[in-house]
Every structure is written in C-alpha cells, then in structure tokens.
C-alpha cells in the first residue's frame, strides 16, 4: 500500500517537477548555447579578421601581376611570403592564402599565396594552383568583395557535410591604388577551440542540471514525504481500518497529524466522521432492535386479531341451508375491518361486517372492543337496531380517541330466510335474487357507531328465498385505488360479482379480489379489504332445527 501511494502521489509530484526542470533547463540551455556560440564566434571572427588585415598589409595588390609573371620567384614575393608564413604560425590560424577567382562566374580560384600553420595536418596548395570554388557560399562572398565594394566577408563551416574540420574563413579584399579589388586574402581558422568550449558548456549544463534534479528529489521528496505522504498514509490506513472494523480507534488522527493545512482539516474531518458514524450505528442498532420488538409484537397482535375472526369454513356444517364465506386482507399487519358471524340461537345467525375509522394498532384495538360489544349485545329476541343502539351508547361513553365504527348487522332466521338488519353508516349490502344479478340494496342508513350520543337505529326486513345471495363488504373494496387515484367503485364491484353467476360463495370473493388486483395493478393497498358472502339454499332439504 505504501509503494502504491508512493507511486501515486510523491512519484507523480517529483516526476512532474523533474520534467519541468528538464524542460526549463533545455530551454535556458538552448538560449545560453546560442548566445554563447554567437559571442564566441564573433570573438573568433574578430581575431581572424585582425590577422587578415595584418596579412593584407604585407601584399601590394598592384604588384600581383608581377608575382604571377615571376612565378612566385621574385624577391618581393618571397619577402611577403616569408612574413605571411610567420604571421600564420604566430597567430594560431591554419591557413593564410591569397587567391584570384575567375571573374566570369567565380567558379574557379587561382592561388597566389598559400601559407600554412606547421602544426596542422593539412598540406599546401602550390603557387598558381587552380581549383574549383568550394561552394556557392564562397562564390557569393567573392562576388561581393569584387563587385559590391565589401570590405570583409566571413564563411562559417561547422555544419553539414564538410571535408575538413569545422572552421571559419575571414576574407578581405586586396585593393590596388585605383581602389579596385585585385585579389582576396583569406584567413582560415579551425573551430576546434570553439567546439571544445561548446562541448564543455553543454557538459557543465547537464552536470549541474543533474545535480539540481538529484538535490530536488532528495530534499523535496523528503519534505513531501513528511508533510504529505506520511499524513495521507496515516489517514488512509485509519480509514481502511475503520471501513473494515467499524469501531473507533484509541488515538485520534489529529493527535498524530499536526498539519495546519487541508490535510489537517481532512484528519479532523475523518475523526469527526468516525465519531458520528459510530454514534449513528449505535442509534441504528437500538432502533433496529426496537423495530424488531415492535414487529414481533405486531405479529402476535395479528395472530390475536385473526383469531377473533372465524376462519373455519364451512362454519356450521350442520346448517345445510346456507353457504357462508368471508375474508379480510389488512393493509397493514393488523386492521380495523372485521367480519363476524355466530348463532344467536339455533335458528338465528348473526352476520356482522364493520369498518373502524382507523388502521394499524388503534384501529385493531377499537375493532376488538367493537366486536366484543356487538357479540355481547346481540341476544335472542333483540333486534339488530336495538343491539346497535346499545353498542353505540357503550362505545360513545368511553370514546376518548373520538373514533367510530361503521357496522352492518343482520340476523337471519335460517328456517324461513327472513333477514332483519340495521345499518350504522356502513356500505349498502349487495343482493342477488335466484337467477338474477347482484344489485345494491339501498336501505335506510343510521350514523356510524360511537359518533354521537342518543342515536336511535332502525331495522329493516327482507326475505331471502332459495337461491338468493347476499354480499357485504367494507370500503376497502370500493375505494381500492389505482396508480391514477381512480376508485374501484360499486360499478366494477357489481361487474366482478356478476362475472360468473354459478360460482360458490368463496368463488364470489375470489372474483372480487381478482377484480380489485387487476384494477389497482401495482398501486399499494391503503385500506383493509373485507368481504362476506352468504348463499341461502332454503329449507327444502332436510335440516336439523
């Protein structure tokens, strides 16, 4: 991990700096090299020209035709040659020579004088030797000296392909008394000294650059390690440890890292973050435990509530004149809806469906009370309306939470099919006559139970014939809502009920539930869905009682 960090941070910072230093050095070095070369070259050329001017004084240009006539044997020529040779050897130049180019295209030169430094490894051109002009550079300069009145020209040969070592040639015209150029005196000086100086310069440049880079890496690297790498490594190590172990460490990062920069801030933040995460996790653990406890309690509550509702079907196997089925699907663990049925006496079956104004635990508690009160008030000889009136009084008296419950209560005389019922603010029952369709039965409604004192409820009566059915439900059915907030409604309820007319009572409830599920699709269930269906088979068949 340390190696990885070293690569990712210090290595990157240092290599960046090294690259920058090298680029800067190359830039400065190039400028320096050019300045250095140009200054040295000037100095070099000056020396060569001074020698050339001294040598030019040795030769009388007007006497050159005589030198040619004598074939370089005249005493004046010999004297000038001797002086020039001495000059050549005393001034440290390679050649001093005098030439006459042909004046048509300066393509050839004829040597008049040619002296050489005795230390050089070159050989002399003899008097009168003719050779081709070396290149166009020379040719242009010869022409200037002859035709344009130039007083000095310089040719530098230190680049490209050359037969000799790098050198410069300083040229001055030898003019006659008429002021016209008669010949050219050239001084060739080797550039070996200049070259050596340049090499020395470059070597020094790179040596010092290397030293600077090395120093930078050592000094700056150590600094970076102490002020950057070590703290970051410490923070990273602590963060990784915390990610793995999730327990606070004994020592704070801010005690180990004394930086007052962003890294110090980071260390402080990591310290604080660890503290907060730890306390958050403690809270979460506590809350989770609490939630689990509540969930466990709710589960028990759900079982208690489910145990309240009769769930064994058929409930009264010996009562063959009826088929009865009921279901409740709570929206949460426990619900506020309930259904109930029980025999009041041997010939009377009480049917209850109810909806409490609340869900969850409060709804479930209120539902339990309501169911118990209804069971205790429904007695032989008591009509449903009287029972509801009494239940209302008892609920109202202790109704601190101002909750209420809608109840449909019916008492069916099994032997005759006479159904006496009363409705305290509950949904209309749905009735199907034998061979017909399910239709809403719009009876008189009283107020919900528990809302107001001194309410009086009314009974109504209808007669179930053989083959008739009655279906009661809670608003969780009609108010089942789809994703667009549309309600299932009584229309769709009747459609579902009438879809298959020959189905059993359980089948009827399944049809409705399927219809609801099909309608709401993925929308969540908000309300408890409770339904009960009774099919009256009549008393033609043999039955006890």
Residues that bind other proteins (CB under 8 A): 355-359, 402-404, 406, 424-428, 445-448, 451-452, 475, 479, 485, 487, 526-527
Give the single-character DSSP code of 481.
Answer: B
Could you tell me the smallest distance in angstroms from the CB atom of residue 274 to other proteins? 39
CB of 484 vs other proteins, minimal distance in Å: 12
State which residue, 325 or 408, has the beta carbon closest to other proteins: 408
Q: Are 125 and 131 in contact (CB under 8 A)?
A: yes
Q: How far is the CB of 434 from other proteins (least distance, A)?
A: 27
* Alpha carbon distance 233, 227 (integer Å): 11
Contact 436, 488 (CB under 8 A): no
The helix-helix angle for 360-377 and 384-397 (nearest 10°) equals: 130
Nearer Cβ to other proteins (356/509) = 356
Our CB check for other proteins shows the closer of 110 and 490 to be 490
Q: Smallest distance from the beta carbon of 375 to other proteins, in angstroms? A: 22
Nearer to other proteins, 228 or 447 (CB): 447
R_g (Cα) of the chain, nearest Å: 60
Shortest spacing between CB 409 and other proteins, in angstroms: 14
At residue 496, the 3 state secondary structure works out as helix
Instruction: Round to whole Å and give the CA distance between 66 and 467.
Output: 159
Q: Are 278 and 248 in contact (CB under 8 A)?
A: yes
Give whichever of 398 and 485 is closer to other proteins, judged by the CB atom: 485
Considering the complex, state which of residue 225 and residue 396 has its C-beta at the smaller distance from other proteins.
396
Between 158 and 443, name the residue whose CB sits nearer to other proteins. 443
Contact yes or no for 434/466 (Cβ under 8 A): yes
Smaller CB separation from other proteins, 450 or 515 = 450
Within 13 Å, how many C-alpha atoms sit on residue 145's CB side?
Answer: 29
Q: Quote the distance between the C-alpha of residue 266 and its chain's center.
A: 21
Question: Is 322 or 388 the residue whose CB approaches other proteins more closely?
Answer: 388
Q: Which two tokens stand for residue 465?
A: 């014939």
For residues 340 and 391, give the distance between their C-alpha atoms in angstroms, rounded to a whole number.
15
Q: How far is the CB of 461 from other proteins (least distance, A)?
A: 19
The residue length of the chain stands at 545
489/475 Cα distance (integer angstroms):
9
Structural contact between residues 171 and 184, judged by C-beta atoms closer than 8 angstroms: yes
- CB 539 → other proteins: shortest distance, Å? 33
Q: How far is the CB of 526 from other proteins (least distance, A)?
A: 7
Minimum CB separation of residue 522 from other proteins in Å reads 19
Q: Please give the Cα distance from 438 to 25 (Å, whole number).
A: 99
Extract the runs of DSSP E, i.e. beta strands, from 335-448: 337-345, 348-356, 405-413, 418-424, 430-432, 438-440
* Min dist. Cβ of residue 460 to other proteins (A): 14
Name the nearest CA neighbour of 409 among 353, 337, 491. Answer: 353
What is the three-class DSSP state of 110?
A: strand
CA distance 370 to 390: 11
Give the nearer residue to other proteins in terms of CB position, either 446 or 515: 446
- Please report, for residues 280, 306, 515, the alpha-carbon distance to residue 266 in angstroms, rounded to integers and kept in the order given: 20, 57, 60
Report residue 346: phi and psi, to 5°. Answer: -65, -25
Cβ neighbourhood burial of 48 (10 Å; 0-12, 13-18, 19+): buried
Q: State the nearest-atom distance from the C-beta of 437 to other proteins, in Å.
A: 21
Q: 10 Å Cβ neighbour count for 113?
A: 27
Least CB distance from residue 486 to other proteins, whole Å?
A: 11
Bridge pairing between strands 181-190 and 108-116: unpaired
Q: Which is nearer to other proteins, 324 or 451 (CB)?
A: 451
Minimum CB distance to other proteins smaller for 318 or for 454: 454
């Amino acid at each position: 991990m340390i190696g990885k960090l070293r690569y990712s941070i210090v290595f990157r910072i240092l290599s960046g700096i090294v690259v920058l230093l090298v680029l800067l050095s190359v830039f400065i070095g190039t400028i320096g090299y050019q300045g250095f070369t140009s200054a040295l070259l000037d100095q070099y050329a000056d020396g060569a020209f001074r020698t050339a001017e001294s040598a030019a004084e040795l030769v009388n240009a007007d006497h050159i035709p005589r030198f040619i006539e004598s074939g370089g044997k005249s005493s004046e020529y010999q004297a000038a040659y001797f002086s020039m040779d001495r000059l050549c050897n005393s001034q440290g130049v390679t050649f001093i020579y005098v030439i006459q180019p042909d004046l048509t295209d300066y393509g050839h030169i004829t040597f008049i004088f040619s002296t050489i430094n005795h230390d050089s490894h070159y050989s002399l051109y003899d008097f009168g030797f003719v050779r081709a002009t070396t290149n166009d550079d020379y040719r242009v300069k010869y022409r200037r000296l002859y035709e344009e009145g130039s007083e000095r020209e310089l040719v530098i040969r230190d680049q490209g392909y050359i037969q000799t070592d790098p050198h410069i040639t300083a040229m001055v015209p030898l003019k006659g008394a008429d002021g016209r150029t008669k010949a050219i005196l050239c001084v060739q000086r080797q550039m070996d000294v200049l070259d050596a100086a340049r090499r020395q310069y470059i070597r020094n440049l790179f040596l010092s650059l290397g030293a600077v880079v090395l120093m930078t890496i050592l000094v700056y690297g150590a600094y970076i390690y102490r002020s950057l790498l070590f703290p970051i490594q410490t923070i990273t190590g602590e963060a990784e440890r915390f990610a793995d172990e999730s327990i606070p460490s004994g020592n704070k990062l801010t005690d180990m890292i004394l930086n007052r920069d962003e890294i110090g801030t980071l260390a402080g933040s990591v310290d604080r973050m660890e503290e907060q995460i730890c306390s958050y996790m403690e809270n979460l653990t506590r809350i989770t435990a609490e939630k689990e406890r509540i969930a466990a309690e709710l589960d028990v509550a759900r079982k208690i509530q489910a145990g309240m509702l009769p769930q064994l079907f058929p409930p009264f196997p010996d009562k063959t004149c009826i088929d009865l089925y009921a279901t409740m699907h709570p929206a949460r663990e426990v619900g506020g809806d309930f259904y109930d049925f029980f025999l009041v006496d041997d010939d009377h079956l009480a049917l209850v469906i109810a909806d409490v104004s609340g869900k969850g635990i409060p709804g479930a508690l209120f539902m339990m009370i309501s169911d118990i009160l209804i069971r205790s008030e429904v007695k032989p000889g008591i009509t449903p309306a009287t029972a509801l009136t009494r239940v209302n009084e008892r609920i109202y008296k202790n109704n601190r939470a101002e909750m209420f419950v809608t109840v449909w209560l019916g008492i069916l005389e099994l032997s005759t099919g006479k159904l006496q019922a009363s409705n305290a603010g509950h949904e209309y029952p749905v009735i199907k006559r034998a061979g017909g369709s399910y239709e809403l039965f719009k009876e008189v409604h009283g107020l919900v139970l528990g809302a107001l004192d001194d309410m009086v409820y009314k009974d109504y009566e209808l007669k179930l014939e053989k083959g008739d059915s009655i279906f009661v439900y809670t608003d969780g059915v009609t108010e089942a809502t789809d994703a667009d907030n549309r309600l299932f409604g009584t229309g769709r309820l009747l459609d579902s009920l009438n879809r298959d007319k020959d189905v059993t009572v359980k089948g009827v409830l399944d049809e409705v539930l399927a219809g609801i599920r099909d309608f709401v699709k993925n929308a969540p269930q908000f309300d408890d869905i409770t339904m009960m269906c009774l099919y009256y088979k009549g008393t033609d068949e043999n039955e006890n009682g």
